[in-house]
Structure 1
């Protein structure tokens, strides 16, 4: 079912755990096991590029959660090497651990120094097994004040990395910040920190988790808000392609059926595999900008955002209101007979020329064959 859903979305990568404890069996046998059957099938299907998390300790290896001794690190590197070799033909990307910094709040062994020591031995092992596979560090969970992040970036770890990754969530912030704009603001701050530490404004950054749960509790959002936030984030990402190498939305399908449990309700699909609104919103937003060669973001009046992208087929413009409670309408100033507009999840595009088009939290998608970026009139709607 996962393979079909990934294909339905049209996305070109998926992220998944590749746990050491499931890959190395007692007696030192290393390879895909029944526990990894779903992952093995997904990778071999070639439905999308695998982004794999090399992580977690092994119950048979002392001092491995996290690896803090030379022997534990050596054993982890051996697993990472074998894992990389096993999937190298599928052009994977590898990420070292998952949210190491969050574990550091309760366990001093999850220090920056120990993370750096692990990266130093794992990176060459992975590169030898899969020379073309990017090796990504970080997978940084929530880090208010950026203290752990800055320590990691200043440790010298970037010399062992092809990129750095971060997780960005805001679902328990106040309702006014529970949106894509807040994620973009924090991502831009992270980009500045990485640029300063690496000396390069284009050092690769991966957002390996972002999402909004549709649970019916105080931190949940509506299915429409989830869809709008995800579509906006994908559309904005087209403006940052020089340094932003991907966004992985958490998660493909709900992990449970309790409507009030946050962790059960992050999916683009319900637990029964029926799609939420987010599924078609992600599909259509990605299809809209996938072929863009360049893009820029502009702020229009009233807190309206416009993404203007160039594609081989002409201009693409995505327009939305930063406040879902404020609605607007826009109209092309010039007559463009070929221009059309639609909304995510709508089947048919409509002629845009002369029409007042609706702008809300749901991105308005405007296409024209004209190479020049069109101007708009904008008015508030009641």
Structure 2
């Protein structure tokens, strides 16, 4: 096509794709109209794989399995450390140190995303692997680890926040990460061909400097998805929002699309969340709940390329109220739920049946997520600015329509009433297949 004018080529391609779309058999369209929970993983971070038989962080498989079930999540993410899986004499398998992880994986409560990571004290140059021998030993462990959980339909992630370790140790270079992916992915795929293999696990990367270096190595050829961790709890208070996370995730999606040549290259947010620590970086428990619910609802609109999101973390890891790392949980250290637990559960229960969803703006800073489900239209509405209040009302008489907040025990009739809009999403369900039309006005 080199000799044709660009506009002619573009119009020709557009026409060809339109014809192709019209000719797609109905069965293909029907297959694509799957509910969100068949196309998207909503998970939570847990800490069963670190710390040995008894967790100093308070993780106990039986309790945590029950919490994951209660939340209705379909995935969890945990560590699968090399040094605990391979013991002397190159024997591989679950050891007593990994008993808690094994119990949670084998329970079948949700799909495991397992981090293949960390060096081995018996293997020279392994933290990170920088020699052919160390990389081959890592690949052997990765294959044996994959084999041991293949029945649980796992997802694997290569290392954890390699880019943050690079700040202190130049061995954590993009080139060494690529070299590890080149041997580890084929080893995993031989035993678990259907298990997605993710690269990145990127920690905070201002200006995308390290990310762009990693992408330039061509690493996406050795990956089924790119993973990232997104946090903003230490940004200025006005930035500690789901909107800021969504903006950065969208930028990452663009970078990965350019590097891979595929605008729908699968992306996984394997950590995100807010700490409720009582220090300058913490947010209130209500803000944690609202941000999390908003993020879950929005994710339904990006599921063409966003394949999963893991909230960090299931329960608080400690009991110091001012310690950041101790206070990310959906549940407190004593396993009592924070408001974010019912917010995540309610938002996910509302949006998981959606067959399609799109984001709209009803007014400046007022977001709606319009979704269709097999049982009718759904719409979620919230204000991105906590101090700007609005009210919404369904247009016309919508018999049977109801509304609730994510943590409400029961829904109320929505027809004919003005409903206040705040940063806590309003969830409206209608019997019609289309999302209901709304009127909006500033709160009186």
TM-score, reference length from structure 2: 0.85
Give me the CA root mean square deviation. 0.8
Residue of structure 1 equivalent to 2:297: 235
Structure showing greater relative contact order (alpha-carbon pairs closer than 8 Å, 6 or more residues apart): 2
Shift of the alpha carbon at 1:133?
A: 0.5
Q: C-alpha deviations, 1:150-171, integer Å up to 9, x for none?
A: 1111211111110000000000
Structure 1 gap ranges (5+): none
Gaps of 5+ in 2: 1-62
| CA offset digits 1:2-36 (Å, max 9, x no partner) | 10000010000000000001101122221101111
Select between 328-337 and 254-263 the one with higher mean Cα deviation: 328-337
> Contact 1:334–1:374 (CA<8 Å) still a contact in 2?
no
Counterpart check, 1:325 vs 2:325: no
User: For 2:89, what is the secondary structure of its paired residue?
Assistant: coil
What is the match of residue 364 of structure 2? Answer: 302
Specify the SS of the correspondent of 1:209. strand
Counterpart selection for 1:209 from 228, 253, 271: 271
CA drift of 1:293 comes to 0.9
Q: Which one of the candidate residues 118, 121, 126 is aligned to 1:59?
A: 121
Corresponding residue SS for 2:245? helix
Q: 1:79 aligns with which of 108, 119, 141?
A: 141
Structure 1 position 349 matched with structure 2 position 438: no
Question: What SS does the aligned partner of 1:227 have?
Answer: helix
Residues 1:199 and 2:261 aligned together: yes
**Is 1:133 the counterpart of 2:190 in the alignment?**
no
1:309-339 per-position Cα deviation (integer Å, ceiling 9, x unaligned): 1111111101000011222110011210111
Show CA shifts across 1:114-142 (max 9, x none): 00000000000000111111101000010
Q: Does 1:7 align with 2:69?
A: yes
TM-score by length of 1: 0.99
Does structure 1 conserve the Cα–Cα contact (< 8 Å) formed by 2:372 and 2:434?
Answer: no
Structure with max Cα Rg: 2
1:370 aligns with 2:432: yes
SS at match of 1:171: coil
**For each residue in 1:29-74, what CA deviation from the matched residue of structure 2 results, as whole angstroms up to 9, or x when unmatched?**
2110111111101111100000000000011111111000011101
Helix, strand or coil at the partner of 1:299: strand
Q: Distance in 2 between matches of 1:118 and 1:378?
A: 54
**1:1-382 map, 5 Å:** 1-381=63-443
**When the two structures are aligned, how many residues end up with a matched partner?**
382
Q: Is the 8 A contact 1:319 1:359 kept in 2?
A: yes
Kept in 2, the 8 Å contact 1:202–1:242? The answer is yes
SS of the aligned residue for 2:364 comes to helix
Higher mean C-alpha displacement, 255-264 vs 153-162: 153-162
Q: Distance in 1 between the 2:216 and 2:358 partners?
A: 31
Structure 1 CA distance for aligned equivalents of residues 353 and 260 of structure 2? 29
Larger deviation, residues 19-28 vs 112-121: 19-28
- Write the distance in 2 (CA, Å) between the matches of 1:372 and 1:72: 56
